[in-house]
């Protein structure tokens, strides 16, 4: 989805190369030292028992309980990933709102770290794509139920690529990959040149209008390092969004990948995304 609303915002032109050492609005804690564990085994077992005792084993809470546990499995360095069950997304955009609150994303609709695209496939074969609540319909025609062959919602976010073009083009090394598989931006060293925004093939970055530094989804790095779920996963009422450790056999993400036919976005680009989709329609770009 093109970020047409971004282009006029916060131009970096004419600004000095101010390292902005004072800016902390979007500060993300830098990765823990190698080998650092997130939460100890006692807490892992406590969370698991809470899930079982509360009846979560037989209800929807199991997925979230195990998702939390998977993120904190002791003794191994995690490799974080994300799952999207397209057929479960109802387009409520609670995830988008929760992300904005959690990460100080400006309230204007054209700034976002995650978004949800509604695809409408028409009887005549045409396709309409709109980012729900963000960019208006491009087409003036009225879509009636009779015209619609099928429609579905596709949550999107930074793919935390294993081969991230955004990292490759950053001239000052301000954006980098952590050893647990998350691409972060150091907003103390980002100079706001926008190279990474241009390089990202998924439209996942924007220039923050206050800090004038690049911003994007971090899987809520400050939360997952405490053993919490990303805010969007936490609030999703249908569990369309999943989070976990790709190295853990107990992770709901691992199970999700094993049990479903999985796709990633733009696989031909060789970016190796770590956001995995099930029930992804061939029309999705
Ligand atoms: S909160 Fe869940 S169901 Fe609602 S739009 Fe986001 S992903 Fe879809
Ligand atoms: S989706 Fe875009 S911003 Fe995220 S890691 Fe890949 S290239 Fe970088």
239-278 pLDDT, tens per residue? 999 999 999 999 999 999 999 999 999 999 999 999 999 9
In this prediction the pTM is 0.75
Closest residue to atom 4 of ligand 1, CA basis: 92
Q: Is 106 in the pocket of ligand 1 (CB under 6 A)?
A: no
What are 67-94's pLDDT values in tens digits?
A: 454 445 556 799 999 999 999 999 999 9
63 compared with 129, residue with greater pLDDT? 129
Burial (Cβ within 10 Å: 0-12, 13-18, ≥19) of residue 268: exposed
User: Is residue 144 very low, low, confident or very high in pLDDT (cuts 50, 70, 90)?
Assistant: confident
Mean pLDDT of the chain: 79
CA 239–ligand 1 middle distance (angstroms): 8
pLDDT digits (tens, 9 = 90+) for 197-213: 999 999 999 999 999 99
Rounded to an integer, what is the distance from CA 56 to the centroid of its chain? 26
Are β-strands 214-215 and 127-131 bridged in parallel, bridged antiparallel, or unpaired? unpaired
Residue 233 has pLDDT above 60, yes or no: yes
pLDDT for the residue 76:
76
Quote the percentage of the chain above a pLDDT of 90. Answer: 65
Q: Is the CB of 84 under 6 A from ligand 1?
A: no
Whole-angstrom distance, CA of residue 7 vs CA of residue 237: 33
* pLDDT tier at 232, thresholds 50, 70, 90: very high
Q: How confident is the model at residue 119 (pLDDT cuts 50, 70, 90)?
A: very high
Q: Which ligand is nearest to the CA of 241?
A: 1
Highest average pLDDT, of 36-45, 49-58, 136-145, comes from: 136-145
Does residue 183's CB lie within 6 angstroms of at least one atom of ligand 2? yes
Closest ligand, as measured to the CA of 88? 1
Of 238, 243, 279, the one to substitute when testing ligand 1's pocket (max ligand atoms within 8 A of C-beta) is 238
**How far, in Å, CA of 73 to CA of 63, rounded?**
15
pLDDT value at position 136? 53
Three-state SS letters, the chain: CCCCCCCCCCCCCCCCCCCCCCCCCCCCCCCCCCCCCCCCHHHHHHHHHHHHHCCHHHCCHHHHHHHHHHHCCCCCCCCEEEEEEHHHCCCCCHHHHHHHHHHCCCCCCCCCCEEEEEEEEECCCCEEEEECCCCCCCCCCCCCHHHEEEEEEEEEECCCCCCCHHHHHCCCCCEEECCCCCEEECCCCCCCCCHHHHHCCCCCCEECCCCCCEECCCCCHHHHCCCCCCHHHHHCCCCCEEEEECCCCCCHHHHHHHHCCEECCCHHHCCCCCEEEECCCCCCC
Buried b (16+ CB within 10 A) or exposed e, 64-101: bbbbbbbbbbeeeebbbbbbbbbebbebbbbbbbbbbe
SS3 track for 82-149: EEEEHHHCCCCCHHHHHHHHHHCCCCCCCCCCEEEEEEEEECCCCEEEEECCCCCCCCCCCCCHHHEE
Q: Please tell me if the CB atom of residue 241 comes closer than 6 angstroms to any atom of ligand 1.
A: yes
Q: Which of 71-80, 154-163, 167-176, 233-242 has the lowest mean pLDDT?
A: 71-80
């Amino acid at each position: 989805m093109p970020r047409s609303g971004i282009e006029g915002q916060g131009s970096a032109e004419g600004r000095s190369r101010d390292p902005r050492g004072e800016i902390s609005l979007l500060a993300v804690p830098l990765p823990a030292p190698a080998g650092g564990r997130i939460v100890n085994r006692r807490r892992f077992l406590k969370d698991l028992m809470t899930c079982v005792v509360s009846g979560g084993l037989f209800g929807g809470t199991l997925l979230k309980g195990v998702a939390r546990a998977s993120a904190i499995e002791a003794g191994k360095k995690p490799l974080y990933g994300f799952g999207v069950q397209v057929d479960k997304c109802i387009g409520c955009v609670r995830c988008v709102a929760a992300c904005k609150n959690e990460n100080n994303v400006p309230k204007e609709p054209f700034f976002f770290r995650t978004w949800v695209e509604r695809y409408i496939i028409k009887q005549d074969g045409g396709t309409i794509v709109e980012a729900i609540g963000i960019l208006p319909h491009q087409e003036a025609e009225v879509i009636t139920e009779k015209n619609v062959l099928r429609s579905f919602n596709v949550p999107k976010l930074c793919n935390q690529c294993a081969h991230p073009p955004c990292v490759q083009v950053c001239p000052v090394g301000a954006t980098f990959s952590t050893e647990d598989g998350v691409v972060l931006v150091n907003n103390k060293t980002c100079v706001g040149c926008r190279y990474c925004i241009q390089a990202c093939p998924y439209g996942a970055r924007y220039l923050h209008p206050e800090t004038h530094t690049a911003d994007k989804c971090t899987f809520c790095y400050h939360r997952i390092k405490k053993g919490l779920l990303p805010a969007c996963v936490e609030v999703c009422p249908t569990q369309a969004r999943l989070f976990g450790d790709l190295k853990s056999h107990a992770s709901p993400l691992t199970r999700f990948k094993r049990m479903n036919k999985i796709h990633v976005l733009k696989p031909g680009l060789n970016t190796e995304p770590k956001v995995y989709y099930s029930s992804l329609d061939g029309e999705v770009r």
